[in-house]
């Protein structure tokens, strides 16, 4: 009887560990980030994103001017890879454009406030943070390296899109 109980407990423990490590990170969309990242305390990151071109990147593919040049732009993988980078992984988020998760990773496991309170826990749960300006630049260049034959000035671009969390006092 004790042996069966011990084996059962070990089995449950192993199943729990396996399921913990096999959890899939999923994309949740900018609306889930908005819940916390709209406040002054968080640097109004969501409203900043809404005002900028990344939030409108997919919509840019639907303009008459663009469609005259590339009629299938809203469905063209070559356009979507930068204007809606999650179009394959999370097609339901395509129209949101370049959302937080494009750079910071799928938020399903780190979106909870209890997780986000600890950077270490958030990173363990899929949050991608960048250790240097060079690392950020490398991410940006996945789309902005001579996009549409335009040179990319990282420093100027970063000034337009940076979104730091204010220092805690």
Question: Exposed, middle or buried: residue 127 (CB in 10 Å: 0-12, 13-18, 19+)?
Answer: buried
Please indicate, yes or no, if residue 15 is contained in any of the structural domains.
no
Give the Cα separation of 108 and 122 in Å (integer): 11
Split at pLDDT 50, 70, 90, the class of 70 is: very high
pLDDT at 154 over 70: yes
pLDDT at 48 over 90: yes
What is the three-class DSSP state of 160?
A: helix
Q: What is the CA radius of gyration of the chain?
A: 20
CA distances from 58 to 84, 89, 102, 138, 169 (A): 6, 15, 13, 22, 38
CATH of the domain at 30: 1.10.1130.10
**pLDDT per residue as tens digits for the range 88-122:** 999 999 999 999 999 999 999 999 999 999 999 99
Contacts 24+ apart (CB under 8 A), 115-121: 116/36
Number of independent structural domains in the chain? 1
**The predicted structure's pLDDT at residue 88:** 97
Q: Provide φ and ψ at 66, rounded to 5°.
A: -70, -45
Q: Tokens 């109004």 label which residue? A: 44
Q: Which string of b and e fits 99-120 if b means at least 16 CB within 10 Å?
A: bbbbbbbbbbbbbeeebbeeee
Split at pLDDT 50, 70, 90, the class of 152 is: very high
Please indicate, yes or no, if residue 14 is contained in any of the structural domains.
no
Please indicate, yes or no, if residue 73 is contained in any of the structural domains.
yes
DSSP secondary structure code for residue 63 in this structure: S
Please indicate, yes or no, if residue 119 is contained in any of the structural domains.
yes
Task: Give the tokens for residue 124.
Answer: 């363990």
pTM for the model stands at 0.82
Please indicate, yes or no, if residue 108 is contained in any of the structural domains.
yes
**The predicted structure's pLDDT at residue 145:** 92
Question: Domain containing 133: what range?
Answer: 25-161
């Amino acid at each position: 009887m004790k042996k069966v109980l011990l084996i059962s407990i070990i089995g449950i423990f192993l199943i729990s560990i396996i399921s913990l490590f096999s959890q899939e990170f999923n994309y949740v969309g900018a609306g889930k980030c908005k819940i916390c990242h709209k406040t002054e305390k968080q640097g109004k990151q969501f409203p900043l994103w809404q005002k900028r071109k990344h939030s409108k990147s997919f919509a840019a593919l639907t303009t008459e001017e663009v469609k005259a040049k590339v009629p299938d732009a809203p469905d063209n993988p070559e356009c979507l890879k930068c204007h809606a980078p999650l179009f394959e992984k999370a097609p339901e988020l395509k129209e949101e454009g370049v959302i937080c998760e494009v750079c910071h990773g799928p938020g399903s496991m780190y979106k909870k406030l209890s997780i986000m309170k600890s950077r270490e826990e958030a990173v363990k749960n899929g949050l991608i943070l960048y250790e240097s300006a060079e690392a950020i630049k490398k991410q940006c260049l996945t789309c902005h390296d001579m996009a549409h034959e335009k040179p990319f000035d990282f420093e100027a671009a970063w000034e337009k899109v940076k979104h730091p969390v204010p220092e805690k006092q």
